[in-house]
Copies of this chain bind each other. A is one copy, B any other.
Amino acid sequence: MIAAMLNAPTVLQRCEDLARCTEEPGRITRRFATPALARARQLVAGWMRQAGLEPRLDAIGNLIGRREGSGPTLLLGSHLDTVRDGGRYDGALGVIVALAVAERVGQRDLPFALEIAAFADEEGARFGTAFLGSALLAGRVSARWLEHRDREGVRLADALDAWGGDSSALDAPPRRDLLGYLEVHIEQGPVLVEANMPVGVVDSIAGQMRAFVTFTGTAAHAGTTPMGSRRDALAAAAEWIGAVERVGRETAGLVATVGDVEVAPGAANVVPGSAVVSLDVRHADDGARNAAVQTLHALATAAAAARGVEIVWAQAHATASVPCDPRLTAQLAECARMVTGVEVPRVCSGAGHDAVMLGEVAPVGMLFVRCAGGISHHPAEAVTEEDVAVAIEVTASLVEELALERV
């Protein structure tokens, strides 16, 4: 029924081939500026040539394959790096589906050049950077990042130069020739599984705020300190962790998470003197997110004050929500409706993606593919051939649609 069914098994096989490019035998670990990533890049470069694209490396080590055409450039792609002990599909799937799309549109003349990007660093798993690869195309590589060091103490700039990149050429101007950027990515969440849909169209990438809140009370003997004489840092923190969950549930579209708590002294027979609590808050609407954060700040203060506990609120970072391009997104949704026969879900991406950076210089559109159990960043990541076939078909349809409207 869907012609691209023929391609989906090859896409999955190629993701499998990439999984064997790893820093750690038995796991999938492919971080920035490593030999494992270079091997993966080499495989993809070969596939690019097969698809009629001319591969090149840029200064940060992104692999970009280009097929010339008249007019501006349509960019498709995703990233090739992974987290430590990650999965086969986060990033890689988007690159390989883009290649399948390029093969699908074949050698016929398009009213735009076609490029496929395999970004060298999206996860930041080695140097703690955010979207380093795609940042180069947006002219947003921070000079500070060059000084970041990995766990072994290696400087980012030195690792890059030793790996064939050029740390002196990272201040290139942003790309201004892009007609648009399209990215296919596994959802990394359960929404499509729960909706029983193969793909979903991304409306926006959520803005997020990360903070660490330190509750400080007084450590005391658990046996000899009456309840009324305590300044229990963890009890205050626990009330607030409950509030984070409640505010998350009560605010439509919000996700609010406490992922970690560090208790000190951290002994069963000692009333906690301090608790450091992480907070991660995301929403498609920055105003709604900021309002939720303000509410949570007030609730932390109140939970602490009720116990004579003090808090210090340290915001680690905050990024604004990135809307996908309304027109591209509507076209993507229409293509998905044509291919699947139903309206597919419109979702807000709670995870960040290279589209955040490309959104600075081009209209962006993103298609999510259902992934088993919503699992990502884990060896158990899985997708089905059928869903991948749908993703290829939808993306190829959109490319053809974009070609038609420019003729």
CB closest residue in chain B, given A238: B241
Residue among B225, B226, B235, B261 making CB contact with A245, cutoff 8 Å: B235
CA distance A255 to B270 in the complex (A): 12
Interface size class of A (residues with CB under 8 A): 35 or more
**Among A27-35, A160-168, A187-195, which stretch is in contact with chain B?**
A187-195
User: Is A4 on the interface with B (CB-CB < 8 A)?
Assistant: no
Is A255 a contact of B377 with CB atoms below 8 Å? no
Q: How many Å from the CB of A373 to the closest CB on chain B?
A: 9
Beyond A189-B225, A223-B255, A225-B374, 10 additional pairs, beta carbon < 8 A: A190-B225, A190-B229, A194-B229, A210-B269, A222-B350, A226-B255, A227-B254, A235-B242, A238-B238, A267-B278
A224 pairs with B261, CB closer than 8 A: no
B residues less than 8 Å from A238 (CB atoms): 237-239, 241-242, 245, 258
| Residues of chain B within 8 A of A210, CB atoms compared | 268-269
CB-CB nearest in chain B for A281:
B222
> Is B241 a contact of A257 with CB atoms below 8 Å?
no
Docked CA distance A57–B225 (Å): 35
Flag whether A356 is at the interface (Cβ < 8 A): no
Interface residue? A22 (CB, 8 A): no
Rounded to whole angstroms, the CA-CA distance of A232 and B352 in the bound complex is 22
Q: Is A351 an interface residue (CB 8 A)?
A: yes
Q: How many copies does the complex hold?
A: 2
Sample 18 A-B pairs with CB under 8 A, ordered by A number. Answer: A187-B224, A189-B221, A222-B257, A222-B280, A223-B282, A224-B374, A224-B376, A227-B249, A227-B254, A227-B256, A228-B249, A234-B258, A257-B268, A259-B270, A260-B266, A260-B268, A268-B278, A268-B280
Instruction: List residues of A whose CB falls within 8 A of some B CB.
Output: 187-191, 194, 206, 208, 210, 212, 220-229, 232, 234-235, 237-239, 241-242, 244-245, 248-249, 254-261, 263, 265-272, 278-280, 282, 316, 349-352, 374-377
CA distance A259 to B226 in the complex (A): 14
